[in-house]
């Protein structure tokens, strides 16, 4: 009875105070818009970040050793060192445990390390090919390569004049000049023909050191069961080549890393200059940063020149000369001038470069299908090398960027990773013990070394006789390279043995805490010394960034929400207090305090519901529009967080429910206090205030 009456009166009052309620309602509607939109953006960002990271490499969970010295950082951090995350000694045990946990969908064994690729400078590469051609009896190829080496020497000769001004080591300078003179002399081809290998050896140690150092390629290796990895991580996308099958060795290099570090430096710089002009609207001009970059790139012309076979260079020369309007000069001069691009000729030169020059040089240091000689320090400290086929190039969808290298993990099959990681086997440990035992001797620590070594004073010199074990050593042969490491391995090796960390895919990605707790409980029950961490923790720097962004976004939304609430509260307090006289009248005609309070709250609630619905509709429209056009990432780091260049937010009932609920609750709370105050005013006082 009283509720129906209150509702009727409330509706009447809402109509009676239409203007005032419109103003309050607008404030509430805007508050709802903020809250719902903020919640939708926050949730969308959270979902996007989780999808971006978990579908790229981490999975929802990661498992690694409990006694790890460093925290796991699957996506890497700023340092060049590799974290010591301990070991998972036997994958089979963990697989068994994970199989018993209903939440777990897939187990992907991994390992994280780094390696370098054997390399050399431009002359080293030519001489390496020359040695190969001589050994293969390919005289035509050898002649062309020798000619190329001689052209390089010709180009280096004028450099000696520059070096003369900088060096005080005149003897070395004279030696270097003599080397160049010998290589470029008319008789050198004859010398080479007479004894090719000794001549190459001589060039190796005299000519090659005159070129600038070659590029060192570093790879951050993520060892994995590549089949499971590429199947399970949906952001993986093969760009070129093929994914190594189970049982095949191979590595997959990320596209952005390949472009940045393995492309011919002149070509890469030309790409970047063009991007800055076309995409960023920069100009080269005649001064400034871009102009300086162009000039520097022009001075790097040798990166092109040294790779051109003489016959190709001869054929190219007139074409480049024509591009340059028929200027005089040798190939070095022409290339230097060609690379000094301007705003006017950038496009035509760029097109010419890729049409005529690029096909004749090694545009990339390595190409798909090459056998890469990797080298890494093993766990036990040995320097370990391994040939692994460069099987393909991949990209992580949404991770491509121009400004920074967003995708740096080279994927390698787990078995090759284990080889490079080099955990000592029992037989290797036994061999090591045998070697040590064969020598015997003592251990002396640094703290007491001088007393231990020189404290006795028992004489320093002894006379010995010649050793007799060398005949056996001379006869030693260690077997063919190919026989030591096979290109394939038994696929079942991926199911057991060593891993450093394991990615876990959950059946329901929205239930990460539940999955984490269940798997950790099962691992603890099985007595495995392993820990389970969720993707944010496992991702490393990116994961921390995700958390920071989430906190910042939550604070921003929270501040917006608080400000909205304060405004709503003020508006309602003022609106209620203005009606003190009216309340006094109601009280004078017999309305009880509770009825008055309920009436005022009901009025506010009616306005709040209407406003919240309007605000939510506005938020839905706004988020829907943003979801259509996308929020641009702006910088590469955000593109990782967004999982692409744009964030496409979406809105659900949860966000609308949250917004409507919050706004209604705050409105009621904000009305309650002034309503109680107003209802508490004696009718006489209230009526006097009207007069």
Partner 1 sequence: MLALFIATLAWAAPSSDELVGMLKVVDDRQQNNGDWRSLVYIEQKEKDKSDLAYQAAIYRRDADDKLVILFLKPQAEAGKGYLRADSNLFMFDPTVGKWERRTERERIGGTGSQRQDFDQSRLADEYAPTFVAEEKLGQYTVNRIKLAVKAGIDVAYPVVELWLDKATGNVLKRQDFAESGRLMRTTYYPAWNKLYSESKKAEVYFPKEVWIYDEVEKGNQTKVVIQEVDLKPLDPNIFTKAWLESKSR
Q: Within positions 435 to 454, which residues make up the interface with partner 1, using CB under 8 A?
A: 435-436, 438-439, 441, 443-446, 449-451, 453-454
As a whole number of angstroms, the distance between CA 479 and CA 186 comes to 41
Distance CA 252, CA 410 (A): 6
Instruction: Give residues 549-608 in contact with partner 1 (rule: CB under 8 A).
Output: none
Query: Is the CB of 112 or the CB of 522 nearer to partner 1?
Result: 112
In the bound state with partner 1, the residue whose beta carbon lies nearer, of 163 and 560, is 163
Return d(Cα 389, Cα 373) in angstroms, integer.
9
Pull the structure tokens for residue 204.
């190796």
Distance CA 643, CA 681 (A): 59
The CB-of-316 to partner 1 minimum distance in angstroms stands at 30
Compose the 326-365 pattern: x for residues touching partner 1 by CB under 8 A, - for all others.
----------------------------------------
| Cβ within 8 Å of residue 17, ≥6 positions away | 575
Which residue lies nearer to partner 1 by CB, 130 or 686? 130
Residue placing its CB nearer to partner 1 in the complex, 287 or 438: 438
Shortest distance in whole angstroms from residue 121 CB to partner 1: 8
CA atoms within 13 A on the CB side of 377: 4
Q: Residue 510: exposed, middle, or buried by beta-carbon count in 10 A (0-12, 13-18, 19+)?
A: exposed
Q: Which of 5, 11, 23, 197 binds partner 1 (CB under 8 A)?
A: 197
Residue 68 beta carbon to partner 1: minimum distance, rounded to whole angstroms: 13
Binding to partner 1, residues 73-112 (CB under 8 A): none
Closest distance between partner 1 and the C-beta of residue 548, in Å? 32
Closest CB to partner 1 among residues 137, 381: 381
391 vs 596, beta carbon nearer partner 1: 391
Among 211, 32, 133, 53, which residue's Cα sits nearest to residue 537?
Answer: 53
Residues 6+ apart with CB under 8 A from 333: 327
Contact 48, 550 (CB under 8 A): no
Q: How far is the CB of 439 from partner 1 (least distance, A)?
A: 4
**Is 119 near partner 1 (CB under 8 A)?**
yes
The span of 48-56, 138-146, 422-430, 571-579 binding partner 1 (CB under 8 A) equals: 422-430
Shortest distance, CB of residue 620 to partner 1, whole angstroms?
A: 58
Nearest residue (CB) to partner 1, 386 versus 656: 386
Q: Judged by CB under 8 A, which of 68, 404, 424, 605 binds partner 1?
A: 424
Interface with partner 1: number of residues (CB under 8 A): 73
Helix extents (H) in 279-425: 289-299, 302-305, 310-323, 331-339, 346-352, 414-421
- Residues 153-192 close enough to bind partner 1 by CB under 8 A: 168-169, 171-172
Out of 318, 382, 508, 680, point to the residue binding partner 1 (CB under 8 A).
Answer: 382
Distance CA 387, CA 377 (A): 15
Considering the complex, state which of residue 49 and residue 123 has its C-beta at the smaller distance from partner 1. 123
Q: Which of 12, 198, 369, 661 binds partner 1 (CB under 8 A)?
A: 198
Q: How far apart are CA 121 and CA 154, in angstroms?
A: 17
Site for partner 1 in 451-510 (CB under 8 A): 451, 453-457, 460-470, 473, 476-481, 484-485
Nearer to partner 1, 102 or 435 (CB): 435
Contacting residue, 81, 162, 187, 205, with partner 1 by CB under 8 A: 205
Rg (CA), the chain: 37
Choosing from 383, 403, 527, 629, the residue that interacts with partner 1 (CB under 8 A) is: 383
Give dist(CA 180, CA 155) in Å, integer: 9
Stretch that binds partner 1, among 405-413, 428-436, 555-563, 597-605 (CB under 8 A): 428-436
List the interface residues with partner 1, window 608-637 (CB under 8 A). none
Provide the minimum distance between the beta carbon of 204 and partner 1 in the complex, in angstroms, as a whole number.
Answer: 7
Alpha carbon distance 235, 284 (integer Å):
37
- Residues in 123-142 at the binding interface with partner 1, rule: CB under 8 A: 124, 128
Distance CA 631, CA 652 (A): 18
Nearest distance in Å: CB 114, partner 1: 15
Q: Long-range pairs for 403-407 at CB < 8 Å and ≥24 separation?
A: 403/635, 403/636, 404/636, 404/637, 405/256, 405/257, 405/260, 406/256, 406/636, 406/637, 406/639, 406/640, 407/254, 407/255, 407/256, 407/257
- Cβ closer to partner 1: 102 or 439? 439
Q: Please tell me what DSSP assigns to residue 157.
A: T
Q: Cβ closer to partner 1: 83 or 294?
A: 83
Question: Does 413 participate in binding partner 1 (rule CB under 8 A)?
Answer: no
Does 386 bind partner 1 (CB under 8 A)? Our answer is: yes
Q: Among 337, 374, 568, 651, which residue sits at the site for partner 1 (rule: CB under 8 A)?
A: 374
For partner 1, the binding residue among 300, 387, 496, 547 (CB under 8 A) is: 387
Cα–Cα separations (whole angstroms), residue 115 to 82, 112, 259: 10, 10, 18
Stretch of 8-16, 120-128, 391-399, 611-619 contacting partner 1, by CB under 8 A:
120-128
- The DSSP code sequence of 470-500 is HHHHHT-----HHHHS-SB--GGGGTSS-BS
E-strand stretches of 14-143: 61-65, 104-117
List 70, 314, 431, 508, residue binding partner 1 (CB under 8 A): 431
> Interface residues for partner 1 in 207-226 (CB under 8 A)?
208-209
Structure tokens given for 620: 């839905």
Backbone angles phi, psi at 482, to 5 degrees: -60, -30
What are the backbone dihedrals phi and psi of residue 678, each rounded to the nearest 5 degrees, phi first?
Answer: -65, -40
User: Per DSSP, what are the bridge partners of residue 409?
Assistant: 220
Work out the number of other CB atoms within 10 angstroms of the CB of residue 680. 13
Stretch near partner 1 under the rule CB under 8 A, chosen from 45-53, 371-379, 559-567, 654-662:
371-379
């Amino acid at each position: 009875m009283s509720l129906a009456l209150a509702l009727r009166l409330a509706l009447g009052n809402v109509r009676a105070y239409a203007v005032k309620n419109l103003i309050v309602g607008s404030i509430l509607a805007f508050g709802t818009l903020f809250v719902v939109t903020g919640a939708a953006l926050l949730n969308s960002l959270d979902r996007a970040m989780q999808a971006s990271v978990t579908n790229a490499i981490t999975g929802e969970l990661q498992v690694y050793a409990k006694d790890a010295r460093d925290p796991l950082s699957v996506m890497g951090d700023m340092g060049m060192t590799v974290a010591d995350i301990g070991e998972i000694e036997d994958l089979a045990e963990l697989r068994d445990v994970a199989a018993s946990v209903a939440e777990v969908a897939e187990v992907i064994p991994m390992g994280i390390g780094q390696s370098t690729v054997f390399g050399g400078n431009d002359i080293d590469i030519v001489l390496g090919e020359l040695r190969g051609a001589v050994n293969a009896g390919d005289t035509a190829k050898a002649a062309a390569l020798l000619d190329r080496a001689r052209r390089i020497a010709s180009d280096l000769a004028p450099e000696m004049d520059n070096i003369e001004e900088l060096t005080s080591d005149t003897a070395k300078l004279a030696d270097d000049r003599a080397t160049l003179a010998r290589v470029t002399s008319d008789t050198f081809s004859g010398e080479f023909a007479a004894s090719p290998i000794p001549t190459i050896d001589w060039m190796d140690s005299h000519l090659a050191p005159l070129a600038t150092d070659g590029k060192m390629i570093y790879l951050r290796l993520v060892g994995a069961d590549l089949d499971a990895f590429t199947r399970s991580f949906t952001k993986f996308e093969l760009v070129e080549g093929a994914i190594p099958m189970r049982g095949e060795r191979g590595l997959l290099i990320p596209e952005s890393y390949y472009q940045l570090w393995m492309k011919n430096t002149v070509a890469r710089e030309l790409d970047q200059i063009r991007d800055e002009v076309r995409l960023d609207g920069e100009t080269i001009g005649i001064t400034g940063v871009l102009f300086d970059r162009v000039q520097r790139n022009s001075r790097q012309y040798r990166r092109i020149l040294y790779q051109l076979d003489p016959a190709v260079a001869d054929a190219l020369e007139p074409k480049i000369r024509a591009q340059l309007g028929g200027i005089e000069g040798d190939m070095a001069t022409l290339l230097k001038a060609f690379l000094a691009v301007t705003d006017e000729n950038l496009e035509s030169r760029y097109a010419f470069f890729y049409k005529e020059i690029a096909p004749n040089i090694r545009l990339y240091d390595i190409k798909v299908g090459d056998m890469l000689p990797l080298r890494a320090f093993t766990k036990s400290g040995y320097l370990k090398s391994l040939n692994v086929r460069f099987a393909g190039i991949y990209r992580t969808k949404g991770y491509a960027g121009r400004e920074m290298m967003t995708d740096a993990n080279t994927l390698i099959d787990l078995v090759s990773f284990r080889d490079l990681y080099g955990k000592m086997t029992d037989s290797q440990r036994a061999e090591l013990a045998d070697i040590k035992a064969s020598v015997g001797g003592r251990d002396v620590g640094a703290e007491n070394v001088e007393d231990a070594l020189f404290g006795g004073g028992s004489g320093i010199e002894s006379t010995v006789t010649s050793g007799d074990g060398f005949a056996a050593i001379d006869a030693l042969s260690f077997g063919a390279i190919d026989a030591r490491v096979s290109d394939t391995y038994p696929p079942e090796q991926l199911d057991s043995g060593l891993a450093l960390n394991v990615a876990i895919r959950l059946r329901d990605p929205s239930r990460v805490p539940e999955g984490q707790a269940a798997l950790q409980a099962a691992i603890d029950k099985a007595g495995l010394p392993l820990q389970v961490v969720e993707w944010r923790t496992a991702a490393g720097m990116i994961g921390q960034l995700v958390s920071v962004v989430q906190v910042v976004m939550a604070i921003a939304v929270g501040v917006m929400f608080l400000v909205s609430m304060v405004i709503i509260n003020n508006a309602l307090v003022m609106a209620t207090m203005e009606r003190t006289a009216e309340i006094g009248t109601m009280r004078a005609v017999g309305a009880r305090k509770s009825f008055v309070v309920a009436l005022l709250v009901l009025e506010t609630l009616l306005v709040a519901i209407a406003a919240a619905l309007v605000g939510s509709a506005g938020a839905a429209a706004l988020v829907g529009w943003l979801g259509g056009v996308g929020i641009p990432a702006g910088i590469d780091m955000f593109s990782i967080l967004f999982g692409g260049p744009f964030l496409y937010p979406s809105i659900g009932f949860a966000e609308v429910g949250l917004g409507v609920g919050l706004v209604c609750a705050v409105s009621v709370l904000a009305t309650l206090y002034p309503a109680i105050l107003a209802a508490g005013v004696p009718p006489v006082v209230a009526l006097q205030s009207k007069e």
